[in-house]
Each structure stands twice: as C-alpha cells, then as structure tokens.
Chain A
Amino acid sequence: MIWLGIDTSNTPLSVTLVDEGRVLIEHTDSFPSTHSVAAMPAIERIMKEAGITPNQLDAIAVAKGPGSYTGIRIGMTLAKTLAWSLEIPVYPVSSLAVLAAPGKWFSGITVSIMDARRQHVFAGVYQEQQPLLERHLAFDELLAFLHEQDQPVFWCGQDVQKFTEAIAASGFVSHFAGLAEQLPRASELVALAQHSEPAPDIHTLTPDYLRLTEAEVNWMKANE
C-alpha cells in the first residue's frame, strides 16, 4: 500500500511516499518558499524519483491544520483533488500532532506550538500521543494549562524559539526538540494517518483553521 503524505501547514514543506511501513522518499525543507509554487512540483519530483505513477497511489495523508490559512488550504486542495481524482481515501491529520511526533516516547507532556502572533499560539498538548488540547489560545493560557498537568514538558516546533524566555520563567522541567526534530515530517504524518480514520466524504473535507475569520468575528460582535 503506497501512501502520499503532504504537509504545507507553515513555512516548512514536507512530502513523502511510504510503502508498507517503509519510507521510499521524503522531501522536507523550511526555507521561505511559496507552497503554491513549490508543493506540486515537489510531489511530482518525489514520485518520479521513486518511480511511482499517480494511479499506483493507495491513500493520501494530509496535514489539515491549524497553520497558515493559505498554507493549509494548498495542502488540503491538492490532497482532496488528488484523492477524489484517483478514487482513493484521504486521511486528514492534525498539523499540531505531526509537529509533536518527536515526543512520542516522552513520558511527560508533549507540546507543539505555532506562533499565531499577539502573544497567541496554536498549541497541541499530548500525553502518549493522545491530545489533551488542540486549539488557538494565549501563550499565558497555555502555560496555565500546563501548570495544572504538573509534569515535565517536551516542546516541539520551530516557533518554540520565540517563547524561550517565557518558558524559562515558567519554571517547568522543560526539554526541547533537537534541530532535525523541529520540522514537521510528512513520514510522521503518514504514520499518524495509519492509525486514524479516512475522511468520510472527500468533497466536504475542509482544513481545521481553529479560528473564525476576522470578518466573521466582527460580524458576530456587531450582531450579538
């Protein structure tokens, strides 16, 4: 069974082909490129190099968000259209769970974060890979939640660097993902997808933005 994995949630781009538990090829980068330009050529390239044609694909795993709105839409649109065209299932996986994959053997709490600006983050909090929290919240709110858990914390994601001072001040016993572990890896995405359910309907599948648009928030305030 051949899987294509696609993660375009944030700056990093990661695509992979996995066959029966064996990673055939993976491309992961994290320079600021444009996913709208680079994602499809990257998929085409790894498939060509691995000698896999589109109709040999059996399933697609996609990072469904949260992340950059445009980023998650690019991955989701590619995944949906490929899966629907090829009549194969698509497995949506939380982008935060993919980012937290390096913590899978950690016995405490694993936290993955994406900077959402204005002292807010998208955060995933996991224990033995089970999510305790996956949402958009103030960084202080996240720290308060972690305090309640009262366990050592393993921090994942490139954006952790932006919060090192606050983390140090929090007094948690903290461990940090190493250099290579900070990037989301499409092979980890496929591994997670293999233990999850496919989308029941490809057409209605949408990213998990975990946030309303600003226009909707303002409209709701005005109409309360």
Chain B
Amino acid sequence: MTYILGIETSCDETAAAIVKDGTTIVSNVVASQIDSHKRFGGVVPEVASRHHVEQITLVIEQALTEAGLTPKQLDAVAVTEGPGLVGALLIGIQAAKAFAFAHQLPLIGVHHIAGHIYANALENPMEFPLLSLVISGGHTELIVMQQDGHFEKIGETRDDAAGEAYDKVARVLSLPYPGGPHIDRLAEQSDGAVEFPRVWLEEGSYDFSFSGLKSAVINYQHNLQQKGQEINPSHVAAGFQQSVVEVVVEKTRRAAEEYGVKQVIAAGGVAANKGLRSALEATFEKQGIPFYVPSLPLCTDNAAMIAAAGYSKLIAGERSDYAMNGRPGMPLTSWTRL
C-alpha cells in the first residue's frame, strides 16, 4: 500500500488529502476562502496567500487525523507546483518541503491540470488513449493522453477561460460571485433563450474563444437599455450557456472521434455545470464512448487529485527537490513523462 499526502494551494482553496495507491481517497480536506473573497468580487492574490498561511498546517493535520494515519505511514508528499497564483502556490510548496524534510519523505511537484485529470482515477480506472476536457475558471483545454503521464494539448482558449466568461456574464446580470452556478441554475429554469453567436474559429481547430460571446451579451444588454427595455436574465443566461455548451460539446466530440479515444473525461470547476455535463453525457452515449465527470467535490480544486497525479510520478520514479519553485505559468507538456 502506498499512501501519498497531497497539498494544493494554487488559488483560493487550502487543501490537503491522503490517497491510497493513487485510486482511493482516505481523507480529503478543503478549507475554502470564498467567503473572504466575495466582498472583493473575485480572488485577491495577497488575501489568498495570507489565508493559506493561516490554514496550511491545520488542513494537513486534519487530513492525517481523518485518515487515522501518522506521518510515518506516508510514502510521499505531492504538492501543486503550478500553474496558479504564484504567492498562493508558494505556501503549499514550502509546507510540502518542510513536511517532507521533517519526515524524510520523497517530494513530488504536480501540475494542477494534470491533477484535475487524475481526479478521475479516484472514481474510474483511466484507460488510454484518453481525451480530457479541462474546463474551469482558469482553463479551457482539450488534452489527449496516449498513455499514463503523457499529455498532448490539442486545443485551448485564445482569450477567456470558460469559467471566466461565466463570471463576467454573471456580473453583467448582477448575479453574485462566483457566477457560474447561478447562470447554470437560471438557464436550467428558463422558458426561453436569447440567440447569441457560436464561435467556431478556423475549420478543424480545437481552440476556443469566449470573449466575443461575452461582448455579445454586453451589447445585447446595452441595446435593450437604450430602447428603455428590461432584459430577462434567465433568457440571457440560457442563451449564453447554450452557445458555450454547443461549441464545447461539438469540439470535444470531434476530437474524441479523430483521436479514437477509449474514454472521455471532463475536469475542472466548470465540469460541474449541469447543462454542460448533461449535454456531454447525451452526446457520448450516442457515440458509444465512455464519458466520466468526477463528482462535485473532485471537480473543484482539491488535494486528493494532486495526490492521485503524484502517485503516477512516484511509481515512475520521478522526484522533485527542495529547490522546487512555484510555476504560475507551468505548461502541462513540461510535466509529460520523458
């Protein structure tokens, strides 16, 4: 049995978890700072970093206590190395170094997005080749994994991440932060939808662009305002969501077909979006390709996913050293096994 302590502090969640053999969650602790950032309308990096220092040893202790394990029973420490907010990443990294040094354990730096992908390993065995749609507040990417530890990015957003677009449109509609779940809920209950454009980019491209869609929503609101009319927030939310979902689902479907994958998995906070999730489920059921989305607590940022991804590195014999730095712009390809 291999027990890995995972630590994640890339944004506004301070998280620690213990995972057995890369597949079984033994404990999974997340201290969210969202209440603290709400008043600022978004995550303030300096505030996030300060909270991480207050929480870090507490969440690690809680992860050990809930697991009923002592540090001596652990086999490695895995920590998010990047991407993320640099000041926030550093807290998890320094804590991981100190813990690893104190207990003389191997240290493993983990790519945050790889973590989101490996979150699936905690619920379903991963089968390769695999296509992953990584969709969150910071990312919208299509990644092909021909085998364990290998990542090929075939498409990504050229401007806003999908989650960012959700937050911006939510602001236009005066919905509270974070806006994604509110738009999803409004769209689900709506009895109509405004028609917004779909952005497909060049033929065959797997890239995304959401900034034009966001502008279309803002223009629509301005036009109505000038005519002295009120917008219907549900119709706007539904129209926006339909546009995002249609493009994302279609590009994911085409990619799955082109690369002949055995599995499609969605990862990241926006993967929890009900409208997107059900559209993906329906599409891949028709295609006959197994499709998985981690359960909600594993979609959003957590440390179990970091431990799960760390396991893949540990068994491959890869280690990090005490000079590990936070890498805010760390490319996923740099984490590919050589």
Residues of A at the B interface (CB closer than 8 Å) are 34, 36-41, 43-44, 54, 69-70, 73-74, 76-78, 80-82, 84-86, 202-204, 206-207, 209, 213-216, 219
A sample of 19 more A-B contacts (CB under 8 A), given A73-B90, A77-B94, A81-B94, is A37-B324, A37-B325, A39-B94, A40-B323, A41-B323, A43-B101, A54-B103, A54-B104, A69-B87, A73-B53, A77-B91, A81-B56, A81-B98, A203-B57, A203-B58, A206-B50, A207-B53, A215-B46, A215-B47
Most-contacted residue by chain A among B56, B97, B99, B103 (CB, 10 A): B97
Chain A interface mostly helix, strand, loop or mixed?
helix
Option from A34, A41, A43, A77 in Cβ contact (under 8 Å) with B95? A77
B326 within 8 A of A: yes
Asked whether, in the complex, the Cβ of B40 is within 8 Å of the Cβ of A215, the reply is yes
Interface residues of B in 176-234 (CB under 8 A from A): none
Across the two chains, which residue of chain A brings its CB closest to B46? A213
Asked whether, in the complex, the Cβ of B53 is within 8 Å of the Cβ of A54, the reply is no
Most-contacted residue by chain B among A70, A77, A78, A215 (CB, 10 A): A77
Asked whether, in the complex, the Cβ of A213 is within 8 Å of the Cβ of B90, the reply is no
Interface residues of B in 296-319 (CB under 8 A from A): none
Interface residues of B in 89-121 (CB under 8 A from A): 90-91, 93-95, 97-99, 101-104
Asked whether, in the complex, the Cβ of B101 is within 8 Å of the Cβ of A82, the reply is yes
Interface size on B, residues (CB 8 A): 34
Chain B interface mostly helix, strand, loop or mixed?
helix
Q: Distance in Å from the Cβ of A136 to the closest Cβ of chain B?
A: 15
Contacts of B57 in A (CB 8 A): 80-81, 84, 202-203
CA distance A206 to B57 in the complex (A): 11
B21 within 8 A of A: no
Across the two chains, which residue of chain B brings its CB closest to A60? B98
CA distance A213 to B44 in the complex (A): 9
Asked whether, in the complex, the Cβ of B103 is within 8 Å of the Cβ of A85, the reply is yes
B23 within 8 A of A: no
Asked whether, in the complex, the Cβ of B87 is within 8 Å of the Cβ of A54, the reply is no
B322 within 8 A of A: yes
Q: Distance in Å from the Cβ of B260 to the closest Cβ of chain A?
A: 42
Contacts of A204 in B (CB 8 A): 54
